[in-house]
Each structure stands twice: as structure tokens, then as C-alpha cells.
Chains A and B, each alone.
Chain A
Amino acid sequence: MHTLKSIAGILLAASLALPGLKASAATPAEIQKSFETAARASTPGFSGFSAERGQKFFNSTHGNDWSCTSCHTPSPVALGKHAKTGKEIAPLAPAANPQRFTDAAKVEKWFNRNCNDVLGRVCTAQEKGDVLAYLMSLAK
């Protein structure tokens, strides 16, 4: 009986972990690396990412009504709230939410959508890397 339970447990754990592994094969550092590669290719004189610049970008509006903080709040380690629907948003900083920035496709999807909403255009690799540098610099 005990063995059966263990086997069932292992199978359950495996079935839960497998799709997770497939979708989240990256770390924030790896995602940051891919932004760096893109920034080197697209920004002449690229000199690295800056958490300070990222923080300023995160807290500012960019010609439209919203900034990143409209939904994610000025404290990315805290819970956010969708500015329109009111739905709770899990913390954005990896220190507070280990699932953040672990799935490159998801990261791209949300940067595309949210940059369009906040800036009316897609973000550059420099901007994305700066924001990620800021988020990675935050402690829980």
C-alpha cells in the first residue's frame, strides 16, 4: 500500500513537473543574457544595463496614461492590481516570485503587450534589459 502511494506520488509529481519544465527552462539571468545579445546587435555603443535607469523607466509614464506602476505598483516585490479589471497580479520581481522571467516566450508576450500599452510601441532590448536589471536588483 505504501509503495503504491509512493508510486502514485512520483507519477503525480512527474506529471506536474514535466509541463512546467518544458515551459520554464530559463532563469532571469539567461533571459537577461538574451537581451544583452539583442542590445549589442541593435544599439551602437551599448555599455551594459542599468538597474537605476530601469527603475526610472519603470516609474515613468511615456506619453500615455499608464506607467508600469499603474498595474505593478511602485513596489514590484508586492502584489499588483490590473488598472482596468482590478484583478490581482503576482509580484514581478524574481526575489518575490520565483516564476517570473523563467519562460522566454511569456516574457516576450508580456513585454510586447505592456510596452504597447505604456509606450505605444515595443520596447528596445536596452529598455527591457534595464527593467530586468532593476527587477533583479530588488530583494524580497
Chain B
Amino acid sequence: MNNTTKRWIFDSVVWSVSLLFAFGLLMDNAMADSKGFSATNKTWQAECASCHIAYPPNLLSAPAWRRLMAGLDKHFGTDASIDARSAAEIGAFLENNAGRGKRGSDSGTLRISETPWFKRKHDEVSASTWKNPKVKTAANCTACHAGAERGEFDEHAVRIPR
């Protein structure tokens, strides 16, 4: 094997590996919404999903979850209070898996649908869609995101009801 061939093989390998790596990074970023949410906790699932879907912890910042858990007796107009032990377990789970980056910034609101990133992600949704009785409220993720309960919010899987 002469030096030119060796050099060629070396270059090809380096380029292939780099490209694969870059592609992987891109895909990872692009699929952050679609691959769903893997962390789970039985108490969180059982308690939070008794009145609505158990909203994935990465949709709100840690400080917002802390405030929400501190006010469960007045939870968006209803009493959702739980025993101290469950509250501590759920609170820790939510904060440990809370949103990072854009979703991790605390905008002051406790409503996921009022956070700046949520609004930006939904800015193309028409007013009539929000008013559709099958949607009813922006809190009704599953109306359009069938995998919402599993934390799957891939844009390509969105089905807006008619």
C-alpha cells in the first residue's frame, strides 16, 4: 500500500465519521420533540393523570413546577391537593426532569400554554382551530398530538381535528 492510498483511506474514514457525527447531532436536535419523554414516575402518572394528561415535566421550568406544586389546593380553579409524601415525590420528579434551554426559562406563568416557547411553536394555529369543540382548550394536547401522554410532540405527527 503506497502513501497516497493510505492517505486516501485515512481521509475517507475521518470524513465519514465526522459527517455521521454531525448528522447524528442534527437528527438528535430535530427529534428532541418526537422521540418522546422517557423519564417516568408512578405517583406522578397516577396523580397528575387523574384529571388531565400527566403533562411531561420538560414542558415547564423547575421554578414554575415548584410554584405549581406549592399551590395544588388552588390548581387552575380546582382543589387538587395531595398528601405531603406524594407531593414531595412528584415535586422532585418534576424538578429533576424540568425543561432546560428555552423551556427552562421561567416566564412567570404556570400555564404551559402561556409560555413563550409554546406560543411560538403554535403561532400558525388559527383562532378557529383553538375554538373547535374537539380542541376546546390549549391544555388539550391530545386533540392534535396523539402521543402527548408519552411526551411525543413531533410536528409531522400533528393531526388537527376538523
Contacts and interface: CB of A to CB of B under 8 A. Distances in A.
Secondary structure class of chain B's binding surface, majority of residues: loop
Nearest to A71: B51
Contact of A84 (B78, B81, B83): B78
A98 B137 CA distance: 32
Contacts of B140: 85-86
A82 B80 CA distance: 13
Nearest to B81: A113
Q: How large is the interface on B (under 10, 10 to 19, 20 to 34, 35 or more residues)?
A: 10 to 19
A114 B53 CA distance: 19
Nearest to A115: B79
A77 B24 CA distance: 53
Contact of A85 (B79, B82, B139): B139
Contact of A117 (B53, B79, B82, B83): B79
Interface string B32-59: 0000000000000000000111000000
B109 to A, nearest CB: 18
A86 B81 contact: no
B51 A112 contact: no
A20 B42 CA distance: 14
Q: How large is the interface on A (under 10, 10 to 19, 20 to 34, 35 or more residues)?
A: 10 to 19
B80 to A, nearest CB: 6
A85 B75 CA distance: 12
B77 A113 contact: no
Interface string B117-130: 00000000000000
B73 A84 contact: no
B80 A113 contact: yes
A5 interface: no
A85 B52 contact: yes
Interface string A67-91: 0000000000000001011110000
A86 B132 CA distance: 14
Contacts of B83: 105, 109
Contact of A87 (B51, B76, B78, B81): B51
A87 B78 CA distance: 14
20 contacts: A84-B76, A84-B77, A85-B51, A85-B52, A85-B137, A85-B140, A86-B136, A86-B137, A87-B51, A105-B83, A109-B82, A109-B83, A112-B81, A113-B78, A113-B79, A113-B80, A113-B81, A114-B79, A117-B78, A117-B79
